[in-house]
Structure formats: C-alpha cells, structure tokens
Amino acid sequence: MSISLIILAAGMGTRMNSDLPKVLHKIAGAPLVVHAMKSGQALDPVKTVVVAGHGAELVEKAVKAYDPDAEVVLQEEQLGTAHAVAQARAALDGVEGDAIVLYGDTPFIRPETIEAMIEARKENAVVVLGFEAADPGRYGRLITKGDALEAIVEFKDASDEERAITLCNSGVIAADATVLFNLIDAVGNENASGEYYLTDIVGIARSRGLRAAVVRCDEAETLGVNTRAQLAQAEALFQTIARNAAMEDGVTLYEPETVYFAHDTVIGRDTIIEPNVVFGPEVTIESSATIRAFSHLEGCHVSRGATVGPFARLRPGAELAEDVHIGNFVEIKNAIVDEGAKVNHLTYIGDAAIGAGTNIGAGTITCNYDGVFKHKTTIGKNVFIGSNTMLVAPVTVGNNAMTATGTIVTSDVPDGALSIGRVKQTNKDGLAVRMFEKLKQMKQNKQSGA
Ligand code: UD1
Ligand code: CA
C-alpha cells in the first residue's frame, strides 16, 4: 500500500522567542521539520506534503533541500489542526493509500511506530498514536472502550472525569487519504478554542460506524519542541540515542557523553572515537579508523584505517583515503588526501590533492585564496614537503619531488626535483656574544640612570 505524509508545520512557535519559524530550529544539525520528514521517509512515501504558515518561504527552502520532491502548501491562517490537514487536499488529489499526519515539531517518532500504525490500519479506519503521559497536562485525552478508540477530547473541552485519563494523543494519525479528507469535511469549530480540531475525526468516524484504534508508544518518542529548553532536551535525547546506536553498531566511544553526532553521521565498525569529538552534517567514516580527541569534522569522508587528530579539523570536501594520518592542529578543506599520506602537524590544506605516500611537513600552508579566487594545489605521490613550505596556488608539485624547509613555492615543481626558495644563510663569527654583551651593558646603564 502506498503512504503519503502530511507534516503540520504552520505554527508560529511563539514560546521559542525567535525570528525563525519553530520547525527550522535544529537538532543534530538538521531542522526539526527534517527530522519529522526522516521519521516518515523510512516508509518510502509516494508523496510528502508539508503544511507551512509562519515563515513559509524559509520552511519551503529547508524542506526542498532535504527532499526536492516534497511539496509545501500554505496555511495562511492557523485555524486548527484539521484546517491544516485540509490544506494538503489538493496536493494529494488522486493519490491513493494511507495518509500519515505528523507534526513538524515532533522529531522522535520512530519508523517502527508508524509501521505498527499502518499494520493496525488493516482493521481500523483511523489509527491514533497514543502514549501514557507521566503528566497529562493539556494533551488531548483518548477515550477508549476495550481496544477501540471512541473519541479524542481536547483538554479545554474535557470534563474532570475525562481529564483524569492519562492515555494521551501524540498528534500522529493514520487513515486512508480519501476517508481522512471526508472526515475532515465534517469537522466544525464549536469548541472551547474555536478551532477546527483534527482530533474530532475519531468521534465522527465512530458515528459513521467506522472503527478507530490506538497504537501506543513511549512518551519520549512524542517529545515536542515548544521552547528553547525543550530544544535542548531534544538535542540531549537525540545524542543519547545516536551514541547508543553507534556503540551497538560496533563503534568504540571512550566517553560517549562527550561525542556529538549529526543527524546523518555514519561510522563503520571498529572505529574508535576518542573524547570531545564533534560531527557536523554529512560525515561518513569507514571501519577501523581512529578519530582522536577534540577533533571537529563536517562534510567529509574518512576511509578505513585512517587516523585523525587530536585537535584536527576536517571541513567540507575533505576526503581521506585508507591509512591516511592527519595530526594535531591540522585543517583540511576540499582536498583529497590519497592512501597512506601524512599531514601530521600544524598545517592548512585547502583546495588540494595530495598523492599517495606523500608526507607534508609541519607548518605547511596551501595559500589557496588570493582575496577573490580560490586556487588549487596539486601534490604528487611520494612527495616530501619540507616544514613551513608555502604552496602559492595554483601550483603543482610532481611525483617524488621535495621542497626544502621554508620554501615559498610559486611555480610548478617537476617530478623528482628539489625545490628550494629561501634566503641563503650566513654565519657571522662571534657576533652573538658581542651583541649580547652590548645589550646587557645597555640595560645596566638604564638601571643606574646614566
Ligand atoms: C494537539 C492535539 C492534542 C495533542 C497534542 C500533542 C489537536 C486539536 N490537538 O494539541 O490532542 O495531545 O497536539 O502535542 O489536534 N498546526 C498547524 N496549523 C494549525 C494548528 C496547528 O500547522 O492551524 C501545527 C502546529 O504547528 C503544531 C501541530 O500542528 O506542529 C500541533 O498544533 P498545536 O497547536 O501545538 O496543538 P496542541 O494544542 O498542542
Ligand atoms: Ca503542541
């Protein structure tokens, strides 16, 4: 059966106290709305519709960046969750199968949970995701009779007896798309909030003799973000889940609570991550690599057996081949470092290609930027770049070449050549001693006021 996603993301999120629409606040480097989309993506939806309102243009940009096929529809006025879903009707015209309603501010719904809802749909017209709330607060309450769901009552409209119910509505609902829109047509707004409640569709379905049911999940899965404090909680929860998942996948984390993952970090088996490592988006690391303490990685790929850090920074476009060594205080950006090459100390490599087996000495800099354009540095195989070499790009160093310490390389170095470009050294006999005595004498004169 085909699945469509309707993601509600029109709310302003007043309590975030932000210029940014709530669903664009990030956890693990991805906007909340993208996390909601990812929850549903595992079901291979035929169509994803995001209902946006406040900051719709920005929301659309973020949504399309993650999934260019997703459609963003506008809900100009936020008249309630049923009204929000109704805005997706045209986008889903002619689309058959189930529609799953998710909230853009609720990032932790697991794909397995949605699958359980789709399974329950076989016997029921409407399936609602519920949870036992530790503190039911203002959540909608689920009115059940045995296994059947009879109605959802919003807190504002609930009697004391109904408010005593602890089984609450997460907001996630599954129904056949056509049935869903038919039910929504019957929803009115005569209630305590004057809003069109999506939750009313359960009572309406029952009055039409259709069955409804609850699928239950842990409360943690339904965590929604309304405040900066909840955003921080969500980040912490994401990190806990990601750390545990990495360790289950065979990644060693010596001090898991100091390692920060992005939403899309991929790490292979038997890789070791030392403490205080931060992963930005789009990092993939193969197996048996070592990421040493205090390193920061984003948009990069690290191959099998490579070592990075401590205190290394891999920026977007850094591609490390197998057994590469990147050492302390080294920054690599948009550069391919080929098999077994070593860049061990205090170095900047940007917009470059470094051949296999090459050794880059301490303090080497690819001078890639002239203030306007970026230029490329190409270094061949088995090259030895002496310490403190400045490679003024665009420039090429051939295979098996060498640069002398302190050389400023401004023109290409042929294969096998030694490039040396520095001021010739001269030694003045005895001058150091004479100078030193003179300076000491000056100091003494100063102190005695002479
Ligand atoms: C809703 C449910 C409640 C449930 C709770 C779980 C209804 C009527 N109530 O209440 O049963 O326990 O979620 O968190 O559905 N939105 C729009 N357009 C609108 C209104 C809302 O896009 O016109 C979006 C919001 O941005 C938000 C989501 O829908 O992401 C839920 O809306 P919200 O106003 O937070 O609903 P609650 O009152 O919390
Ligand atoms: Ca809410």
Residue 430 lies in a domain: no
Which atom, in ligand 1's list, is nearest to the CA of 197?
8
pLDDT at 76: 97
Residue pointed to by tokens 């403490």: 275
Residue 441 lies in a domain: no
Q: Looking at the structure, tell me whether residues 262 and 193 fall in a common domain.
A: no
- Tens digit of pLDDT for each residue in 295-322? 999 999 999 999 999 999 999 999 999 9
Q: Looking at the structure, tell me whether residues 186 and 53 fall in a common domain.
A: yes
Q: Looking at the structure, tell me whether residues 177 and 264 fall in a common domain.
A: no
The Cα–Cα gap between 69 and 4 comes to: 12
Cβ(198) to ligand 1 under 6 A? Answer: yes
Residue 450 confidence (pLDDT) above 80: no
Domain boundary among 222, 252, 274: 222
Give 386's DSSP letter.
Answer: P
What residue spans of 19-136 are helical by DSSP H? 32-41, 56-66, 81-86, 111-121
pLDDT at 221: 97
The Cα–Cα gap between 74 and 406 comes to: 60
Residue 254 lies in a domain: yes
CA–centroid distance, 295 to ligand 1, in Å, is 40
Q: Looking at the structure, tell me whether residues 233 and 91 fall in a common domain.
A: no
CATH number at residue 30: 3.90.550.10
Q: Looking at the structure, tell me whether residues 237 and 386 fall in a common domain.
A: yes
CATH number at residue 350: 2.160.10.10
Domain boundary among 222, 244, 268: 222
Active site residues: 345
Domain boundary among 222, 239, 273: 222
The Cα–Cα gap between 325 and 101 comes to: 48
What residue spans of 197-343 are helical by DSSP H? 200-207, 228-248
Q: Looking at the structure, tell me whether residues 214 and 304 fall in a common domain.
A: no
Residue 29 lies in a domain: yes
CA–centroid distance, 223 to ligand 1, in Å, is 13
Q: Calculate mean pLDDT across residues 10-15.
A: 91
Q: Looking at the structure, tell me whether residues 400 and 347 fall in a common domain.
A: yes
Cβ(338) to ligand 1 under 6 A? Answer: no
Q: Looking at the structure, tell me whether residues 241 and 214 fall in a common domain.
A: no
Cβ(140) to ligand 1 under 6 A? Answer: yes
Which atom, in ligand 1's list, is nearest to the CA of 83?
23
Domain carrying residue 103: 3-222
pLDDT at 93: 96
- Tens digit of pLDDT for each residue in 85-123? 999 999 999 999 999 999 999 999 999 999 999 999 999
Q: Looking at the structure, tell me whether residues 82 and 161 fall in a common domain.
A: yes
Q: Looking at the structure, tell me whether residues 280 and 407 fall in a common domain.
A: yes
Residue 264 lies in a domain: yes
CA–centroid distance, 217 to ligand 1, in Å, is 18
Q: Looking at the structure, tell me whether residues 218 and 318 fall in a common domain.
A: no
Pocket test for ligand 1, best of 23, 49, 50, 81 (most atoms within 8 A of CB): 81
pLDDT at 232: 98
pLDDT band with cut points at 50, 70 and 90 for residue 12: confident
Residue 88 lies in a domain: yes
Residue 426 lies in a domain: no
Pocket test for ligand 1, best of 6, 15, 103 (most atoms within 8 A of CB): 103
pLDDT at 417: 98
Mean pLDDT for the chain overall: 97
The amino acid sitting at 298 is E
Q: Calculate mean pLDDT across residues 21-33.
A: 98
Q: Calculate mean pLDDT across residues 19-45.
A: 97
Domain count, the chain: 2
DSSP per residue over 176-199, as a string?
EHHHHHHHHHT----STT----TT
Half-sphere exposure in the Cβ direction for 53 (13 Å, CA): 21
Cβ(171) to ligand 1 under 6 A? Answer: yes
Q: Which protein residue's CA is at the shortest distance from atom 30 of ligand 1?
A: 103
Q: Looking at the structure, tell me whether residues 57 and 104 fall in a common domain.
A: yes
Residue 146 confidence (pLDDT) above 90: no
- Count Cβ neighbours within 10 Å for each residue of 119-158 and write b for 16 or more, e otherwise: ebbeebbbbbbbbebeebeebbbbbbeeeebebbbbbeeb
The Cα–Cα gap between 208 and 192 comes to: 24
**Nearest CA among 70, 68, 72, 88 for reference residue 21:** 72
Cβ within 8 Å of residue 13, ≥6 positions away: 21, 22, 23, 25, 54, 105, 226
Are the C-beta atoms of 59 and 75 separated by less than 8 Å? no
Are the C-beta atoms of 216 and 100 separated by less than 8 Å? no
Are the C-beta atoms of 7 and 33 separated by less than 8 Å? yes
pLDDT at 340: 98
Cβ(106) to ligand 1 under 6 A? Answer: no
The Cα–Cα gap between 424 and 12 comes to: 68
pLDDT band with cut points at 50, 70 and 90 for residue 138: very high
pLDDT at 297: 99
- Tens digit of pLDDT for each residue in 227-241? 999 999 999 999 999
Residue 448 lies in a domain: no
